């Protein structure tokens, strides 16, 4: 640990190291664990199979968000059969309800007024606080970094690790700082700021880094706007994004139900004020952005880096100098059905989606409603366009209704829905049909993201509202609504109202789940070994191969880890309209027997944290992936499943892809860290010593960490003494149950 000047990230990291391994990896204590229904069932089954408990129910909070219908809910029932019609979605919700009961966790169920997208409810309740470490089996956990927290997404195996040990093994990332200085032009919002940043640094620009956002523009943002910026850090490839806490942060948190109160509040705030990067702190990478360069932005392609100002045109891939990028752009334009040179404002839309963990907060809804009002009292959603507004949480919905925003939307022809992830991912009924084009406030424009064959343009809530009225992508600045003096400013949710609400927990009342625990135990998965692998390699040439491409969302609705091979690269293998087979490389001999993938494109496995992507590759028979770089969560997910991700130079990947094209069998020797390829000279690679040891010897991470249980317990004692407000926030075994959900959490630690 260095004693020189430190960044905010260095400080939070140092404060959370339980112990350091010989390999250099740190065991990091987790202060807050958020859980949702998609990435957790296999983790709980793993705990059950190994006879383990949840170490800190008081620091764990669960909700349902991805699968939930957003059509009006029958308020009179807690029976999941009446609330979630789709059997697979219901099975995941039911599994979570059973798990929170079995393991004594606090839970905001479907009929709870606090239910919502996991990244909206954490901050809303004050569960998210400055200075903490926060994880969730979800890539957009980076959102919580807006509070000056170290928050990042993890895979399901890591969720199991955190549930069992309240820690996670991590390698420290590099420090990156992005300064945004100057004054934003009128009509430019935080979504434009982050889209512009990703356009500048690219979807892999933050690989291996934690980004701190700073500068006058960031300082002047509200908490909600800061959350939108940090939320999309993952779209820039970074591990996490963060913003130093300040008066704006403290004002947002004060009196939130789970935030510290009274004297503890004062003590917490004085600690939080120390959470800034020291003046001379060293950043490995620094990027400076001028606010005046940022114009309201939209995406044109299928990567969040494909950004242009709304006043711009669809770019011509022929002008791209990097051949991989050119290829990706050509593919994107074909998928998006766009012609180079088309002015963005001439692109017609079929759907509009306002919501998601990026832009489903009250301020986002106000901003969209302002545009609708600005368009005049007779403004309507353009004919033929379906526009929906989906609040990020049930409390956001109630607040918006109290302010009359729902009436503004409804009157103009928008659908006003219940809270959930909705058309951001389309795991419920809210899906974009093949060939349809959507103006969306979400964060991912990946192929098939909102529905197979659907086309997504990312933008701010103001721009999405403008698109709904105009029927095409539109510059929201032409709609700008200036509240007149007589307009009542839209009220904040009174804190007392949030605190005093009587909440219903359905966890106690649902019918018992029919979900059976998986037969595959974690130790089974982890007891596999990787030493030498020989076989066919399949070449792939796509940059930013995201995990939605590897395994689309319809395959996430499982509660087990197996049987996913049929979904692997589904949209590459099957035509979205006709379902006809597309002759994808993995369906052609000899590649239908491939055990290795060689990707020449960087950032393989970026995007969502779904471990299902790794499970589907494994299920197909893939044991090793070679690429110039990887999405970090995906890399960890591979390692957790005894698959070897190997990072090589772009040139080496091209060389190996040529071998793969020629049908040369590759031999990967992990002990020697070497790839042999017929007569040609072998290629060396390096791996982290701890991870190599795990793969070679097949040992179980959780059992290994539990050997450090004394160090974990000692850390917890120090934590209680130093930051007492972190214990007991979500109920459970520690200092009380603030959430108001009966907990059966055990008082003692059992190992
Ligand atoms: C389902 C979940 C694992 C996933 C994520 O990690 O991001 C989802 O939220 C998404 O946005 O794709
Ligand atoms: S990105 Fe979309 S699907 Fe993922 S958590 Fe956010 S709202 Fe839900």
| pLDDT digits 0-9 by tens, 31-90 | 999 999 999 999 999 999 999 999 999 999 999 999 999 999 888 888 899 999 999 999
Q: What are phi and psi of 144, to 5 degrees?
A: -70, -15
> What is the reported pLDDT for 742?
33
Name, in order, each residue with C-beta under 8 angstroms of 192's C-beta and a sequence gap of 6 or more: 294, 295, 296, 297, 460
pLDDT at 593: 97
State if residue 705 touches ligand 2 by the CB under 6 angstroms criterion: no
Ligand 2 center to 727 CA (angstroms): 28
Within a 10 A sphere around the Cβ of 707, how many other Cβ atoms?
Answer: 9
Say what the pLDDT of residue 526 is: 44
Number of helices (H) and strands (E) in the chain: give both, helices first. 27, 27
Asked if residue 140 has its Cβ within 6 Å of ligand 2, the reply is yes
Ligand 1: residue of 35, 96, 122, 138 to mutate (most ligand atoms within 8 A of CB) is 138
DSSP 368: H
- For residue 425, the ligand 2 atom closest to its alpha carbon is 3
Nearest CA to ligand 1 atom 2: 138
Helix (H, G, I), strand (E, B) or coil at 370: helix
Distance from the CA of 299 to the center of ligand 1, in angstroms?
Answer: 20
168 with 188: CB under 8 angstroms?
no
ipTM for the predicted complex: 0.99
Token digits of residue 192: 């434009």
Residue 665: count of CB within 10 angstroms of its CB: 16
Distance CA(322)–CA(359), nearest Å, equals: 33
The ligand with the least distance to the CA atom of 70 is 2
- Report the chain's terminal Cα–Cα distance, integer Å: 30
Residue corresponding to tokens 């697979």: 88
Q: Of 183, 197, 444, 475, nearest to 309 (Cα)? A: 475
HEC sequence for 52-74: CCCCCHHHEEEECCCCCCCCCCC
Q: Which two structure tokens, joined as six digits, stand for 468? A: 């709904």
Answer yes or no: are the C-beta atoms of 602 and 628 closer than 8 Å: yes
The whole-angstrom separation of Cα 576 and Cα 566 is 15
Residue nearest atom 8 in ligand 2 by C-alpha distance:
421
> Which of the residues in the chain have pLDDT under 50?
484-526, 732-751
Residue 448 has what DSSP assignment?
T
Task: Report phi then psi at 453, rounded to 5.
Answer: 80, -5
DSSP H or E stretch at residue 505: none
* Cβ partners under 8 Å of residue 608, min gap 6: 139, 444, 546, 547, 548
Q: 233 near 205, Cβ under 8 Å?
A: no
Cβ proximity of 132 and 240 under 8 Å: no
Distance 97 CA to ligand 1 centre (A): 19
Inter-residue contact 159 to 40 (CB < 8 Å): yes
The 10s digit of each residue's pLDDT in 340-389 is: 999 999 999 999 999 999 999 999 999 999 999 999 989 999 999 999 99
Distance 62 CA to ligand 1 centre (A): 15
Q: Is 711 helix (H, G, I), strand (E, B) or coil?
A: helix
Q: Which residues line ligand 1 (CB under 6 A)?
A: 38-39, 66, 137-140, 153, 425, 556, 608-610
CA separation, residue 180 to residues 8, 134, 322 (Å): 17, 25, 27
pLDDT on residue 515? 33
- Is 117 close to ligand 2, i.e. is its CB under 6 Å away? yes
Measure the CA–CA gap between 57 and 731, rounded to whole angstroms. 7
| C-alpha of residue 576 to centroid of ligand 1, in Å | 21
The reported pLDDT for the residue numbered 482 is 62
Residue carrying structure tokens 């609040």: 391
Ligand 1 centroid to residue 34 C-alpha, Å = 13
Ligand number nearest CA of 426 is 2
Q: Which long-range contacts (CB under 8 A, 24 or more apart) does 574-583 make?
A: 576/434, 576/448, 576/452, 576/453, 577/434, 577/435, 577/453
Pairing relationship of beta strands 133-136 and 150-153 according to DSSP bridges: parallel
Ligand 2 atom index nearest CA of 36: 5
Distance of CA 648 to the CA centre of its chain: 26
CA atoms in the 13 A half-sphere facing the CB of 256: 22
Per the DSSP assignment, residues forming a β-bridge with 62 are: 35, 107
Q: If you take atom 12 of ligand 1, which residue's CA is the nearest one?
A: 608
CB 685 within 8 A of CB 647: yes
Q: Report CA(608)–ligand 2 centroid distance (Å).
A: 9
Q: Locate 17 and state its tokens.
A: 């190291």
- Structure tokens given for 344: 């963005």
Ligand 2 lined by 443 (C-beta under 6 Å): yes
């Amino acid at each position: 640990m260095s004693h020189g000047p430190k960044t905010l990230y260095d400080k939070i990291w140092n404060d959370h190291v339980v112990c350091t391994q010989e390999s250099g990896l740190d065991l990091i204590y987790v202060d807050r664990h958020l859980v949702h229904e998609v990435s957790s069932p296999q983790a709980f089954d793993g705990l059950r199979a190994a006879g383990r408990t949840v170490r800190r129910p008081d620091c764990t909070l669960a909700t349902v968000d991805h699968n939930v219908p957003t059509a009006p809910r029958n308020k009179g029932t807690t029976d999941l059969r009446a609330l979630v019609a789709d059997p697979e979605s219901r099975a995941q919700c039911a599994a979570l309800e059973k798990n929170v009961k079995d393991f004594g966790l606090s839970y905001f169920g479907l009929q709870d007024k606090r239910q919502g997208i996991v990244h909206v409810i954490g901050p809303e309740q004050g569960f998210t606080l400055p200075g903490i470490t926060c994880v969730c089996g979800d890539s957009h956990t980076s959102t919580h970094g807006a509070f000056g927290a170290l928050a990042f997404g993890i895979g399901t195996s890591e969720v199991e690790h955190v549930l069992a040990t309240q820690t996670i093994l991590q390698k420290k990332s590099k420090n990156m700082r992005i300064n945004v200085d100057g004054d934003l032009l009128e009509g430019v919002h935080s979504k434009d700021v982050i889209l512009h940043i990703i356009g500048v640094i690219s979807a892999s620009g933050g690989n291996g880094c934690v980004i701190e956002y700073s500068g006058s523009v960031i300082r002047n943002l509200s908490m909600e706007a800061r959350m939108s910026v940090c939320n999309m850090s993952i779209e820039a490839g970074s591990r996490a994004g963060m913003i130093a806490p300040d008066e704006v942060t403290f004002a947002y948190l004060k009196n939130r139900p789970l935030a510290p109160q009274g004297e503890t509040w004062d003590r917490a705030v004085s600690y939080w004020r120390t959470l800034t990067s020291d003046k001379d702190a060293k950043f490995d990478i620094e990027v400076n952005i001028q606010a005046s360069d940022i114009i309201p932005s939209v995406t044109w392609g299928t990567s969040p880096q494909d950004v242009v100002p709304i006043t711009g045109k669809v770019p011509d891939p022929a002008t791209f100098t990097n051949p991989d990028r050119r290829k990706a752009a050509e593919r994107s334009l074909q998928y998006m059905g766009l012609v180079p040179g088309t002015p963005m404002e001439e692109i017609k839309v079929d759907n509009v989606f306002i919501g998601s963990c990026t832009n489903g907060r009250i301020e986002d809804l106000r901003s969209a409603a302002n545009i609708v009002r600005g368009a005049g009292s007779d403004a309507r959603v353009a004919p033929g366009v379906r526009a929906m507004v989906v609040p990020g949480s049930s409390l956001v919905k109630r607040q918006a209704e109290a302010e009359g925003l729902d009436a503004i939307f409804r009157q103009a022809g928008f659908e006003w829905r219940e809270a959930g992830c909705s058309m951001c991912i389309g795991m419920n009924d809210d899906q974009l049909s093949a060939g349809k084009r959507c103006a969306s406030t979400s964060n991912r424009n990946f192929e098939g993201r909102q529905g197979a064959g659907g086309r997504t343009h990312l933008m701010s809530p103001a721009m999405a509202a403008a698109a709904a009225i105009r029927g095409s992508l539109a510059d929201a600045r032409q709609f700008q609504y200036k509240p007149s003096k007589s307009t009542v400013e839209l009220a904040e949710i009174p804190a007392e109202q949030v605190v005093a609400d009587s909440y219903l927990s359905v966890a106690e009342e649902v019918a018992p789940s029919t979900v059976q625990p998986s037969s595959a135990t974690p130790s089974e998965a982890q007891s596999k070994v990787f030493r030498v692998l020989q076989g066919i390699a399949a070449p792939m040439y796509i940059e930013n191969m995201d995990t939605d491409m590897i395994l689309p969302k319809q395959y996430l609705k499982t509660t087990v880890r197996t049987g996913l091979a049929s979904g692997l690269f589904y949209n590459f293998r099957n035509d979205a309209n006709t379902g006809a087979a597309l002759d994808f490389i993995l369906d052609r001999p000899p590649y239908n027997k491939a055990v290795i993938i060689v990707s020449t494109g960087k950032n393989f496995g970026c995007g969502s944290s779904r471990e299902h992507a790794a499970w589907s590759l494994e299920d197909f028979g893939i044991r090793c992936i070679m690429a110039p770089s990887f999405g970090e969560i995906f890399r960890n997910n591979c390692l957790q499943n005894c698959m070897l991700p190997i990072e090589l130079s772009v040139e080496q990947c091209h060389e190996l892809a040529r071998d793969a094209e020629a049908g040369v069998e590759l031999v990967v020797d992990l002990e020697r860290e070497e790839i042999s390829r017929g007569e040609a000279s072998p290629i060396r690679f390096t791996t982290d010593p701890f991870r190599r040891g795990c793969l070679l010897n097949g040992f179980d991470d959780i059992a290994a960490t539990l050997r450090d249980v004394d160090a974990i317990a000692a850390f917890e004692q120090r934590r209680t003494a130093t930051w007492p407000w972190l214990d007991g926030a979500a109920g459970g075994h520690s200092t009380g149950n603030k959430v108001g959900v009966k907990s059966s959490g055990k008082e003692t630690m059992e190992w």
